[in-house]
Amino acid sequence: MDVFSFGSNSSCQLAQPSGEDAHEPRQVELAAGSGVVASNGNHTLMLDGDGRLFAAGCNSHGQCFADGAVLPQFARVGAGDRRVTHCAGGWAFSVVVYDDGTGPEVHTAGHGPAGELGLGPTTPQSRGARVAEFPPAGRRVAQVAAGMAHVAVLLDDGQVWGWGNGRKGQLGDARGPCWRPVCVWPGGAAAVACGREFTVVADAAGKIAVLGAAKHGLHDVPAGAAMGSPGPSPLAGWTSVQAGWTTIHVVVDGRIVAWGANGHGQLPPYAAGDGPRFTRVAVGSEHTLAATADGRVYAWGWGEHGNCGPGGDVVIRRFAEVFCARTPLLLLGAGCATSWIGVAAL
C-alpha cells in the first residue's frame, strides 16, 4: 500500500520528518501495508492487517509506546511481536488491544491526569501498561474509541465501558476523573464513537444515544433515532458512526447524516439533497474526508493546516476534491487537522 498524508505536522504526526505542514497529499515511508489510522492529538497510530502497530509524532509522554521525544517517521511499536487488534489515540495518550487468541489485553500509554490511562490515580503517566481486570472475563473487545480525554470500549456483548474525564457526563453517571474502567452502557450497543466531551452509542437498528456535553445541538438526534424513541429510525442500515470534536456523522446508503457544530463547515455541504454518494468516510477533529466508488476523495471543514488540501481557504464549505486514486483506495483516515489516504501500490 502507498500511504499519503497532509495537514498539521508540527510534531511530525504526518510521519513526514520535515516538521512542516503539508497542504497536499505526500507519500510517507511505511514498512508495511496498513488498514487503520488513529489520531486525535499530535501523534498518529497506524495498524496493519497483520496486527502490527506503527506510530509517528509527539512522544513526549510515551504515548507512542516507544522511547524518544518525537518519532519523525513511522516506527513499529508495541510489545514485541504481539498481535494488536484495535487502537485509538487521545490528546496525549493511546489505547491498544493485544489479542493473540487467548483473550484480549487492553494497554494504555501517555499522559492521563484525568484518568485517561485507566491505570488508577497513582499512575497518571506511563510508557505502556495493562489496564487491570479489563475486559471482564470471557468478553472480547469489538471497538475502541477515544475523545480528547476519555475512552469508550465496546465489548462483544453490547456493553460499553469507559474511563477518563467524565465531568460532562461522557461516561454516564461516572462524573469527574474516572481512574478505572466502568460500565457506561448496559448492553445492546453495536457501535461507539467519542467526540471531544461526549460519547455516541448506536444500536444495530440505528437508534442513537449521546452521553455528555449538550452544546451545539449534539443531543438533537434525527426524529426517531434516539434510543427508546418510537417508530422506525431514519438511521436504520447505517454503515458507519463517527464523531468529530463537536459533531456526529452517520453514514446511511452512502450519504452522511450529521449534526452538531458547523462554525467551521464541519457538516457535509449538501445542497438540496445534491452531492456524491460515498463508500468511505473519515471524520477528524473539525474536518471530514469522504471517498466515492471511482476513487475520488473529497474534504470539507476546517482546513487551516492544509488538511483539506490546497487553496488557502481556512473553512471549506464545499465538497473539495483533494485526491483521485489511480489504484484501489484501501485506507481513509482523519485526525486532529491531519488527513490520510492509502491506495494499492502500483
In a domain, 19, yes or no: yes
Dmax over CA atoms of the chain, in Å, equals 54
Residues 6+ apart with CB under 8 A from 64: 43, 45, 55, 56, 57, 58, 71, 75, 77, 94, 109
Q: Domain of 142: which CATH number?
A: 2.130.10.30
Nearest to 212 by CA among 238, 262, 173: 173
Sheet containing 198-202: give its strands across.
Answer: 191-194, 198-202, 208-212
Q: Is 52 helix (H, G, I), strand (E, B) or coil?
A: coil
CA pair distance 198, 185, nearest whole angstrom: 13
In a domain, 262, yes or no: no
CA pair distance 77, 94, nearest whole angstrom: 12
CA pair distance 295, 101, nearest whole angstrom: 35
In a domain, 31, yes or no: yes
In the numeric block, which cell numbers belong to residue 182? Answer: 466502568
Q: How many CB atoms lie within 10 A of CB 123?
A: 14
Q: Amino acid identity of 227? A: M
Q: Is the pLDDT of residue 276 over 80?
A: yes
Mean pLDDT of 214-219: 94
How large is the C-alpha radius of gyration of the chain?
19
In a domain, 309, yes or no: no
In a domain, 284, yes or no: no
Band of residue 346 on the pLDDT scale cut at 50, 70, 90: confident
In a domain, 280, yes or no: no
Return the pLDDT at 311: 75
In a domain, 146, yes or no: yes
Per-residue burial over 143-156, b = 16 or more CB atoms within 10 Å of its CB, e = otherwise = bbbbbbbbbbbbbe
Domain range enclosing 79: 2-228+325-343
CA pair distance 137, 140, nearest whole angstrom: 9
Return the pLDDT at 116: 98
Q: What is the pLDDT of residues 5-62, one digit of tens each?
A: 999 999 999 999 999 999 999 999 987 767 889 988 999 999 998 999 999 999 999 9
Beta carbons of 208 and 226 less than 8 angstroms apart: yes
String of DSSP letters for 213-240: --GGGTT-PPTT-BTT-SS--TTTTEEE
CA 217-277-304 angle, 5° bins:
60
In a domain, 9, yes or no: yes
CA pair distance 252, 254, nearest whole angstrom: 5
Q: What is the pLDDT of residues 74-100, one digit of tens each?
A: 999 988 789 999 999 999 999 999 998
Return the pLDDT at 273: 66
Q: How many domains does the chain have?
A: 1
pTM strictly above 0.85: yes
Residues 6+ apart with CB under 8 A from 138: none
Band of residue 272 on the pLDDT scale cut at 50, 70, 90: low
